[in-house]
Amino acid sequence: MTYTDPFRYTIIFLYVVEAGSFTLAAERLHMSKSGVAKSISRLENRLGVRLFNRTTRQLSLTDEGLVYSQGCSRALTELENAQLDISTRKVSPSGKLRIDMPVVFGKKWVMPILLDITEKYPELELDVTLTDRRINLIEDGVDLVIRIGQLDESATLVAKNLGMQKSVVCASPQYLKKFGYPQVINDLTNHQCITFISGNRPLPWYFIDEQNNTQSILIQGRISSNHSETILDATLHGHGISLLSNWLVSSYLDNGQLVRLLPDVQTLGFPIHAVWPQNKHLSPKVRVVVDALAKSFITQSPWNEPNSF
pLDDT at 103 over 70: yes
**Higher-pLDDT residue of 175, 211:** 175
Is it the case that residue 238 has pLDDT exceeding 90? yes
CB of 229 closer than 8 Å to CB of 104: yes
The answer to whether 309 and 303 have CB atoms below 8 angstroms apart is yes
- Highest-confidence segment of 171-175, 246-250, 303-307: 171-175
**For residue 309, what pLDDT is reported?**
35
Give the residue, 83 or 36, on which the prediction is more confident: 36
Helix (H, G, I), strand (E, B) or coil at 100: strand
Per-residue pLDDT at 175 exceeds 90: yes
Identify the pLDDT of residue 224.
Answer: 92
> Percent of the chain at pLDDT above 90?
40
SS3 287: helix
Q: Are 286 and 144 in contact (CB under 8 A)?
A: yes
Give the pLDDT score at 1.
Answer: 37
Which stretch of 22-26, 160-164, 266-270, 296-300 has the lowest confidence by average pLDDT? 296-300
pLDDT at 225: 92
d(CA 227, CA 244): 11
pLDDT tens by residue, 48-87:
999 998 877 788 899 999 999 988 888 877 776 666 666 5
What value does the mean pLDDT of the chain take? 86
pLDDT in tens, 144-164: 999 998 887 676 788 899 988
Residue 195 pLDDT: 92
Of all residues in the chain, what percent carry a pLDDT higher than 70? 89
Alpha carbons 196 and 231: distance in angstroms, whole number: 8
Q: Is residue 130 within 8 Å of 227, Cβ to Cβ? A: no
pLDDT-wise least confident of 209-213, 247-251, 265-269: 209-213
> What span, in angstroms and rounded, lies between the C-alpha atoms of 73 and 11?
10
Predicted pLDDT of residue 217: 87
Which whole number is the average pLDDT over 179-185?
93
> What is the band of 6 on the pLDDT scale with cuts at 50, 70, 90?
low
Is the pLDDT assigned to residue 299 strictly greater than 80? Answer: no
Q: What crossing angle do the helices spanning 8-19 and 63-89 adopt, rounded to 10°?
A: 110
- State how far the Cα of 11 lies from the Cα of 4, in Å rounded to an integer: 14
Q: Of 80-94, 120-134, 175-189, 219-233, which range is least confident?
A: 80-94
